[in-house]
Amino acid sequence: MLEPLDPDMFTGCPPPAAPIRIGGKWTPMIMRCLEAGPRRFTELQIPLRGVTPKVLTESLRAMERDGLLARTTYDEIPPRVEYELTDLGHSLLTFMDAGCAWSREHLPEVLRARDAWHSAAT
């Protein structure tokens, strides 16, 4: 029999304060867009065509708050703002690469499991 789970097992890292934001829907895609260098908001909207401006803004602010990206405002007419990954943000790309490699290798198994589950549930 397994040991009971410790009720305090997540005490050091409660979900709202968890430092890894990679699980969000848009964060990994934004990181991939910024991987090669700084981009403007409108540039990010092109490949992220399913994200609303509000959600993109919220995602960028959250990533900036967590130190994953830097926002630079240029005093020009019209104003120009660029976003780029910080060193901390770049350090997450290694883990994203590992997750992508795992997904490529195991996606057929995951899809088969989903199909089996849906078949059993109906």
Domains of the chain: 15-121 (1.10.10.10)
* Mean pLDDT, residues 83-89: 96
Query: Residue 10 CA to chain centroid, in angstroms?
Result: 21
83: number of Cβ within 10 Å:
21
pLDDT for 91 beyond 60: yes
For residue 82, count other CB atoms closer than 10 A to its CB.
Answer: 17
Which whole-number Å values give the CA distances from 100 to 16, 32, 46, 86, 116, in the listed order? 25, 12, 22, 21, 23
Question: Is residue 17 scored above 50 in pLDDT?
Answer: no
pLDDT greater at residue 52 or residue 10: 52
* Selected residue with higher pLDDT from 15 and 97: 97
Quote the CA–CA distance of 83 and 39 in Å, as a whole number.
5
Question: What is the Cα–Cα distance from 5 to 67, expressed in whole angstroms?
Answer: 33
- Give the pTM: 0.76
The structure tokens listed for 44 are 């990010």
**Are 53 and 115 a contacting pair, CB within 8 Å?**
no
- ω into residue 78 within 30 of 0, thus cis? yes
